[in-house]
Amino acid sequence: MVRTVCCHEHRNEYDLKEAAGRLGWACTTLRDRCTTNTVPHHRRHSVKGIFFTDDDIAKIKAPQPRQPALTPPTGALPSSDREDQTGEDAEIDAALAALAGPTRVSSDG
């Protein structure tokens, strides 16, 4: 743990390994989330590494709102039933629906 002085106030600062330990995460998980900017962190121009303050760790631990699901919920209307759909979208959806339907097997018998 590094103690830094910034603007006349004392605050704790942790490196990647220390912060991961406080969060109960693997270092690689925390590093990956820093790379995608999904967690608060700090980098310095003169010092190599990623650093975290107590505030950063508290924000990471705070419950986060869930991200919306990529698939529509069960019972949602198919895209072809939406009013805001263009004619081309409706044609594509109709063609896909036809392809997804049961296939016929010809019997030459």
Domain spans of the chain, in order of start? 2-61
- C-alpha to C-alpha distance for 53 and 60, rounded to whole angstroms: 11
pTM for the full predicted model = 0.52
pLDDT of residue 8: 39
Residue pair 30/16 in contact (Cβ under 8 Å)? The answer is yes
Q: What is the pLDDT of residues 86-98, one digit of tens each?
A: 777 778 888 877 7
> Topology of 2-61 in CATH?
Multidrug-efflux Transporter Regulator; Chain: A; Domain 2 (1.10.1660)
- C-alpha to C-alpha distance for 3 and 10, rounded to whole angstroms: 7
Of 40, 38, 5, give the one whose Cα is nearest residue 19: 40
DSSP string, 23-36: HT--HHHHHHHHHT
- Residue 13 clears pLDDT 70, i.e. is over it: yes
